[in-house]
């Protein structure tokens, strides 16, 4: 099926907000609507090739971001069109005897993507578009989604009637996907919800292949969906990175005394084998009683961002070692008084979110090392 029309190609310049991207098309900077409001940190890197589709004449933006080229694949950005993929390709394949198929089906105060009958069974079906695929592992969502968790809970309630079935289809925009895992790193509530409802809701991973011309085909209707890997989310256990942007400054760091910090970005790594979410939240707070080295530097930070990695494995020092390999510098003795590492604070002169080595490291831990 045709999922988009490639009217223009260009390279990404910036993403001012979730719904707008600036793209260089033959030397002209054009403003395009981004139909996927997710974080998309793996895709939104300056210089990445983007495919644009002409927008409707009445719209403020002339262009729509149709796809991004990533690892040799065209990744569709139209998250809403996953419903179209489900209607035209997936429902006929999963439910060959489907009848009375209705989209946007209202049920009580809720609305579900699809409602149909398959034989004598009444089917309620939700569709989720998944673009985050690294090291063969797909994850959803890439940002916290209260709505997604609520949908699954509502479907589980519906499925308590023995004549009804509840299904969720993850439309995965990569044909080489080996497994799907709920993204416990960015939305542990969603991961816990999937696991608790897995006895009543059927989850399907369906991978797709999309050409740069916008032609989409199904690759695998049975990508394994792993709902039993959320133990770390249930225990609130894991490691984390805190990224801080600072100006050049001198800071009194507890027992370490006065230390000079260059302007740039610093990444601190730590761990919490319980209460991970509370630990990260505390680090993000600017004003608090100072307990750890990072508390002193956090007070001077212009911006701060967290990267939790939910895992039951002790990976803090391994992560520090790996960061030391890609960072430009480290701060001696910072944050490592209870281990043999030389530092747990690392310096980057440019934003690490535009550093492919840093992103690859983050995804390697989140998609692979966290689980075994």
Q: Does any domain span residue 276?
A: yes
Angle at 204 between CA 201 and CA 209, to 5 degrees: 160
Domain that holds residue 342: 236-369
Rounded distance, CA 344 to CA 248, Å? Answer: 19
Q: Are residues 185 and 121 both part of a single domain?
A: yes
Q: Are residues 162 and 194 both part of a single domain?
A: yes
Q: Does any domain span residue 3?
A: no
pLDDT score of 162: 92
pLDDT score of 66: 97
Q: What are phi and psi of 331, to 5 degrees?
A: -105, 110
Distance of CA 62 to the CA centre of its chain: 28
Rounded distance, CA 85 to CA 193, Å? Answer: 25
DSSP per residue, 130-187: E-EEETTEEEE-SS--HHHHHHHHHHHHHTTSTTEEEEEEEEES-TT--EEEE-TTT-
Q: Are residues 166 and 51 both part of a single domain?
A: no
Q: Are residues 99 and 206 both part of a single domain?
A: yes
**Percent helix / strand / coil, the chain, rounded to 5:** 25, 40, 35
| Short-list 16, 48, 47, CA closest to 34 | 16
Name 347's bridge partners: 266, 329
Q: Does any domain span residue 323?
A: yes
The CATH number that applies at residue 24 is 2.40.50.580
The CATH number that applies at residue 158 is 3.40.1350.60
Q: Are residues 140 and 263 both part of a single domain?
A: no
Q: Does any domain span residue 2?
A: no
Q: Are residues 347 and 329 both part of a single domain?
A: yes
Helix (H) or strand (E) holding 317: helix 316-326
Helix (H) or strand (E) holding 234: helix 231-235
Q: Are residues 268 and 246 both part of a single domain?
A: yes
Q: Are residues 168 and 207 both part of a single domain?
A: yes
Distance of CA 1 to the CA centre of its chain: 26
Residue 88 burial (CB count, 10 A): 12
Q: Are residues 46 and 169 both part of a single domain?
A: no
| Short-list 222, 218, 219, 191, CA closest to 205 | 222
Q: Does any domain span residue 48?
A: yes
| Short-list 47, 48, 17, CA closest to 32 | 17
Per-residue pLDDT of the chain (372 residues; tens, 9 = 90+): 999 999 999 999 999 999 999 999 999 999 999 999 999 999 999 999 999 999 877 778 899 999 999 999 999 999 999 999 999 999 999 999 999 999 999 998 889 999 999 988 999 999 999 999 999 999 999 999 999 999 999 999 999 999 999 999 999 999 999 999 999 999 999 999 999 999 999 999 999 999 999 999 999 999 999 999 889 999 999 999 999 999 999 999 999 999 999 999 999 999 999 999 999 999 999 888 999 999 999 999 999 999 999 999 999 999 999 999 999 999 999 999 999 999 999 999 999 999 999 999 999 999 999 997
Q: Which residues contact 56 (CB under 8 A, 6 or more apart)?
A: none
pLDDT score of 230: 87
Rounded distance, CA 162 to CA 176, Å? Answer: 36
The total number of structural domains in the chain stands at: 3
Q: What are phi and psi of 116, to 5 degrees?
A: -160, 175
Helix 188-197 / helix 146-158 crossing angle, nearest 10 deg: 10
pLDDT score of 57: 76
For residue 47, CA distances in Å to 29, 43, 70, 287 come to 13, 10, 11, 38
Q: Does any domain span residue 302?
A: yes
Rounded distance, CA 304 to CA 266, Å? Answer: 10
- Mark which of 45, 70, 95 sits at the end of a domain: 70
pLDDT score of 59: 79
- Mark which of 213, 231, 249 sits at the end of a domain: 231
Q: Does any domain span residue 1?
A: no
Fill in the DSSP letter of residue 212.
Answer: T
Q: Are residues 320 and 300 both part of a single domain?
A: yes
Q: Are residues 219 and 98 both part of a single domain?
A: yes
Q: Does any domain span residue 43?
A: yes
pLDDT score of 372: 76
- Mark which of 35, 70, 105 sits at the end of a domain: 70
Rounded distance, CA 11 to CA 189, Å? Answer: 36
What length is written for the chain?
A: 372
Q: Are residues 349 and 316 both part of a single domain?
A: yes
Helix (H) or strand (E) holding 105: strand 98-107
pLDDT score of 109: 84
């Amino acid at each position: 099926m045709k999922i988009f029309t490639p009217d223009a190609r260009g390279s990404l310049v910036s993403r001012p907000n979730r719904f707008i991207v600036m793209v260089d098309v033959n030397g002209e900077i054009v403003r395009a609507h981004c139909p996927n409001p997710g974080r998309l940190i793996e895709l939104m890197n300056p210089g990445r090739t983007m495919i644009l589709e002409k927008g409707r004449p009445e719209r403020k933006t002339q262009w729509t971001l149709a796809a991004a080229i990533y690892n040799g694949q065209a990744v569709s950005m139209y998250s809403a069109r996953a419903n179209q993929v489900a209607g035209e390709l997936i429902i006929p394949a999963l439910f060959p005897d489907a009848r009375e198929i209705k989209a946007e089906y209202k049920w009580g105060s809720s609305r579900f993507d699809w409602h149909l009958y398959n034989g004598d069974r009444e089917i309620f079906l939700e569709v989720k578009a998944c673009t985050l695929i690294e090291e063969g592992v797909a994850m959803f969502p890439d940002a916290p989604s209260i709505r997604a968790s609520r949908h699954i809970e509502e479907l589980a309630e519906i499925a308590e009637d023995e004549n009804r079935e509840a299904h969720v289809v993850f439309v995965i925009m990569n044909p080489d996907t080996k497994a799907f895992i709920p993204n416990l790193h960015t939305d542990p509530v969603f991961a816990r919800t999937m696991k608790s409802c897995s006895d009543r809701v059927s989850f399907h991973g369906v991978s797709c292949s999309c050409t740069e011309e916008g032609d989409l085909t199904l690759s695998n209707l049975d990508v394994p969906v792993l709902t039993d890997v959320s133990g770390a989310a249930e225990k609130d256990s894991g490691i984390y990175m805190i990224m801080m942007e600072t100006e050049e400054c001198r800071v009194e760091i507890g027992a370490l005394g006065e230390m000079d910090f260059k302007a740039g970005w610093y990444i601190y790594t730590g761990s919490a084998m319980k209460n991970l979410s509370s630990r990260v939240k505390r680090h993000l707070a600017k004003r608090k009683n100072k307990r750890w080295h990072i508390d002193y530097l956090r007070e001077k930070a212009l911006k701060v961002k967290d990267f939790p990695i939910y895992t039951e494995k002790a990976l803090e020092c391994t992560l520090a070692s790996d960061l030391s390999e890609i960072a430009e510098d480290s701060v001696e003795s910072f944050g490592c008084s209870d281990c043999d590492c030389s530092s747990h604070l690392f310096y980057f002169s440019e934003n690490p979110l535009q550093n492919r080595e840093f992103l690859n490291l983050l995804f390697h831990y989140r998609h692979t090392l966290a689980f075994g």
